[in-house]
Structure 1
Amino acid sequence: MQASLNTYLADRQQLINQFMKNYLEKQDIPERLKASILYSINAGGKRLRPILMMASCEAFGGKPEDVLHTAAGLEMVHTYSLIHDDLPAMDDDDLRRGLPTNHREFDEATAILAGDSLLTMSFQLIAEDEQLPAEKRLYLVEQLSKVSGASGMVAGQMLDMESESKSIPIDDLKRIHHLKTGRLLSFAILSGAYVAGASEERLASLEKTADLLGVLFQIQDDILDVDGDEEKIGKPVGSDETNEKSTYPKLLGMDGAVREKTEYVKEAKQSLSEADVDDTMLSALIDHLSNRDH
């Protein structure tokens, strides 16, 4: 299964990378701004969110190409968020994916505009997808705007910033990561199933998996920030401690964080079974996300 999963990941990464590169290079964008955008898009990245969307679509009988525009749009939103998170006014990071952050490679203003461009182009991409009927495109744009905006990812970033240098309850930490990380992951899984025509009942079962995935993803991120390999994760370990952030290992201890993650994996797989898609690549991806080393 591991060899099969690795091949699957590599194939889907190549598909999404080539699509985004071709799309962006054709856009009429000022040269320096385009260079800044492509710098962050081409810096690598696991493409986990678009791959989850494709896997979900396939689990319900669709094809990867059915969600290619939406998957690329989602990855653009994610990349924009990383560019802005790294800014001096936010996390003030110097490295991302083993390379200088966008504002270090270019300048702060250019990095902000590159992020702005990626965010807005994500909706343009979905709107231009002539493979999908207009009502599906409208629904996807509406949902992506919700999960990435002031009641989703941006809200999570705000709460995360406000919690720095404070000791917060574990339920508050879960809420932060549900918004900051989980909402985009949920969008990936639910949108893939929606485009493939999943029934409302199966979507309801899948929604629990989607919510759980965001938390277990963040727990593993927190674990890697403590004992991960700096070369593999592409940025210094210990940045959460330096920024005085509340994390799962800090609040629960390392053993407690691992136990919490294991329980979430178990519950997520149970929900997949209820949606009748447990024997699919989605299940393998849950194990992969919870055990990743970068």
Structure 2
Amino acid sequence: MSDLKDWLKAAQKRVDSELKRQLPRESARPQTIHKAMRYSVFAGGKRLRPILCLAAAEACGGDSEKALLPACAVEVLHTYSLVHDDLPCMDDDDLRRGRPTSHKVFGEGIAVLTGDALLTEAFIMLANTPATKRYNVGDYVKELAETGGSKKLIGGQVLDLEGEGQQLNKQQLIRIHEAKTAALLTSSIRLGAMTANATPAKLEALTTFGYNLGLAFQVIDDILDVTQTTEVLGKTAGKDESVDKSTYPAILGLEKSRKEAARLTKKALGALEPFGKKAARLEQIGRYLLDREY
């Protein structure tokens, strides 16, 4: 596991270096928006989604260097979603990654525009990603656009907002999180595989892996929200319960939620069998996420 942690740190540094190169400098006019963009992107995230993108490229026998731009694209799109989720009109949170959220620092108007700008930057990065024999720029753009659209990421947020104060069942909760958490995790993995010219069979297997890993990740996230402190999480602990939001622990209880996360992780890892040792990093990450504490 120490080897994995070293690899994760190195991958995180690669992603951060590329993000610094790709995003507009703070000195670029108008400076306020570019400061706000960098404030949120470089707030100390673990870079899980871009790291999965790089690992998926390697699992398909590709050069992870060619997956760096899509990796950065999914990270800035993810950051946009967090900036908007934290707004008073959404989840109304004042803390993200251990420091004040964008709207608390720059105001609501700039926070909305920050999210808009980051979303746009994601597609600039994809537009500059080299094509392969099977996949072109249009395929990359379509992949992330569909994930970020009204049927997935945005649609999931709509269901999430509408579900506040409601007693949702497990299937309704799954619909929310397969549209939000699982969709973006899956797309991150698929984009990495596409830059490695993955065969349709490999892409399908990684889609199954990403979907189940994404749901498992959300179950653990819900568990941590009620078992860890704000200081450990870097965001407001117990927030879901305070706004009467349905979660896995609220519906299943803690013990059954842990079993559900283990079941989903096992299903995800099973999808990696056709890759053999090439998917060792993806397998390690899957096991690591199941046991995470923040």
Q: TM-score band, normalised by the shorter chain? A: over 0.9
SS at match of 2:213: helix
1:131-186 Cα deviation digits (max 9, x unpaired): 33595211010110000111111000000000000111101101100001111100
SS at match of 1:219: helix
Q: Is the 8 A contact 1:136 1:195 kept in 2?
A: no
Q: Is the 8 A contact 1:57 1:193 kept in 2?
A: yes
SS at match of 2:253: helix
- 1:202-281 alignment runs, 5 A limit: 202-276=202-276, 279-281=279-281
2:125 — aligned with what? Answer: 125
- Relative to structure 1, the CA distance from residue 72 to residue 279 in structure 2 (aligned partners, 3 Å threshold; closer, same or farther) is closer
Q: Is the 8 A contact 1:60 1:277 kept in 2?
A: no
1:74-109 Cα deviation digits (max 9, x unpaired): 100000000000000001101001100000011000
- Relative to structure 1, the CA distance from residue 279 to residue 51 in structure 2 (aligned partners, 3 Å threshold; closer, same or farther) is closer
Q: Is the 8 A contact 1:229 1:293 kept in 2?
A: no
2:4 — aligned with what? Answer: 5
Instruction: Select between 117-126 and 132-141 the one with higher mean Cα deviation.
Output: 132-141
Letter in 2 for 1:47: R
SS at match of 2:136: helix
- Structure 2 Cα separation of the partners of residues 8 and 204 of structure 1: 26
Q: 2:79 aligned with 1:79, yes or no?
A: yes
- Structure 2 Cα separation of the partners of residues 132 and 204 of structure 1: 19
1:52-72 Cα deviation digits (max 9, x unpaired): 000010111112211111110
- Relative to structure 1, the CA distance from residue 61 to residue 38 in structure 2 (aligned partners, 3 Å threshold; closer, same or farther) is same
- Structure 2 Cα separation of the partners of residues 210 and 288 of structure 1: 15
Letter in 2 for 1:139: D
1:53 — aligned with what? Answer: 53
Q: Is the 8 A contact 2:132 2:196 kept in 1?
A: no
- Structure 1 Cα separation of the partners of residues 116 and 29 of structure 2: 13
Uncovered stretches (5+) of structure 1, i.e. residues with no partner: none
- Relative to structure 1, the CA distance from residue 279 to residue 109 in structure 2 (aligned partners, 3 Å threshold; closer, same or farther) is closer
SS at match of 2:44: coil
Deviation at 1:267, TM superposition (A): 0.9
Q: 2:6 aligned with 1:16, yes or no?
A: no
Deviation at 1:198, TM superposition (A): 1.9
- Structure 2 Cα separation of the partners of residues 137 and 289 of structure 1: 31
Q: Is the 8 A contact 1:272 1:278 kept in 2?
A: no
Deviation at 1:112, TM superposition (A): 0.5
Q: Is the 8 A contact 2:165 2:244 kept in 1?
A: yes
Q: 2:34 aligned with 1:42, yes or no?
A: no
Q: Is the 8 A contact 1:205 1:275 kept in 2?
A: no
Q: Is the 8 A contact 1:86 1:101 kept in 2?
A: yes
Uncovered stretches (5+) of structure 2, i.e. residues with no partner: none
1:31 — aligned with what? Answer: 31
Deviation at 1:188, TM superposition (A): 1.1
- Structure 1 Cα separation of the partners of residues 84 and 71 of structure 2: 20
How many residue pairs get aligned? The number is 292
- Structure 2 Cα separation of the partners of residues 90 and 141 of structure 1: 27
Q: Is the 8 A contact 2:23 2:121 kept in 1?
A: no
- 1:105-254 alignment runs, 5 A limit: 105-129=105-129, 131-132=130-131, 135-254=135-254
Instruction: Select between 274-283 and 109-118 the one with higher mean Cα deviation.
Output: 274-283
Deviation at 1:232, TM superposition (A): 2.3
Q: 2:101 aligned with 1:101, yes or no?
A: yes
- Aligned-residue sequence identity (percent) comes to 39
- Structure 1 Cα separation of the partners of residues 286 and 278 of structure 2: 11
Q: Is the 8 A contact 1:50 1:75 kept in 2?
A: yes
